[in-house]
Copies of this chain bind each other. A is one copy, B any other.
Amino acid sequence: MRGGVCYAGVAVENARKVAITRWREDRAEELEDEVVREVPLTISVNGRELVTLLCSPVGLRELTFGFLLSEGIISADEPRPEVEINETGGYAQVTLARPLAPELGQALSRLVGSGCAASASFYRAADAEQAQPIQSSLKLSRPVLGTLMKDFQERSELYRRTGGVHAAGLATAAGKIISFSEDIGRHNALDRLIGEAYLRGRPLGDLILLSSGRLSSEIVVKAAKARIPVLVSRSAPTDLAVLLARKLAMTLVGFVRGKRFNVYAAAERIDAS
């Protein structure tokens, strides 16, 4: 672990050994192999169950706060709610000092997700389109971009071992990764970083989001809510992600491969020098 925040023991707790049969050519071998863990986390607010996330079993407190912020259930401006995590039971109990917004039940009930491509975030894409574009004078130099992605990938130990997780990181324009998270879900990895920054009182307006996964509209919307000006991925964006990023003046970089990369939106933040 170098110069950043990391979840203690993540590589140990996040995977477990299971007995498997491995075939190579015409020979079968019984052995133990590591698979990534997946646990349910049911988040209740003021006694009402809101959602069950399927996630990696680390940083559940950070994940809970990040989910609440990303989905607009709490705001960074209000007093911090109490959150009680029951790890073995898979529960997060959130106590707000105010009632849950009455429209939220309705809003959430129509936005049930189904895996990778559905989320409560979506309808806030409409909000995002009407939000003010991100004002940030941050510049990202090309050498730093390449180094960041290399550093980011080197950290993805769990992926290398299990092939089953996505990673997200936050970095400075000077090229330092200040936080890193791995999860079986792309969105959880990002929410956990957002929750962690909130708990540290660290605004994200001067940081770069690094992602191992596809840049879908939901990732752009979550990043926009946190006012992150630059999103970088090794992978591809969707057209809706590109559209939203352009409206919000967020820089969207995809397919980073060494010194080669594509800029899909707000290319002016890439320092040409």
A residues adjacent to B (C-beta < 8 A): 16, 18, 20-26, 28, 33, 35-40, 42, 49-55, 67, 70-71, 105, 108-123, 142, 162-164, 166, 183-188, 191, 213-214, 216-218, 235-242, 255, 259-264, 267, 270, 272
Contacts and interface: CB of A to CB of B under 8 A. Distances in A.
Contact of A238 (B21, B24, B111, B164): B164
B35 A236 contact: yes
Copies in the complex: 2
Given A38-B241, A163-B235, A242-B18, A114 B187 contact: yes
Contacts of A264: 18, 20, 35
A260 B117 contact: no
A163 B236 contact: yes
A181 to B, nearest CB: 13
Given A121-B114, A259-B24, A35 B237 contact: yes
A13 to B, nearest CB: 12
Contact of A186 (B115, B121, B242, B270): B115
B122 A118 contact: no
Contacts of A28: 267, 272
A215 to B, nearest CB: 9
Nearest to A54: B117
Contacts of A23: 142, 259-263, 270
14 contacts: A21-B263, A21-B270, A22-B260, A26-B142, A36-B239, A50-B110, A54-B119, A113-B114, A114-B218, A115-B188, A118-B119, A118-B185, A118-B187, A164-B214
B238 A38 contact: yes
B38 A235 contact: no
Nearest to A26: B142
Contacts of A213: 116
Given A110-B51, A236-B162, A20 B117 contact: no
A238 B37 contact: yes
A126 B18 CA distance: 21
A35 B110 contact: no
Contacts of A184: 116-117, 214, 216, 238
A187 B260 contact: no
A18 B166 CA distance: 26
Contacts of A112: 50-51, 108-109, 111-113, 120
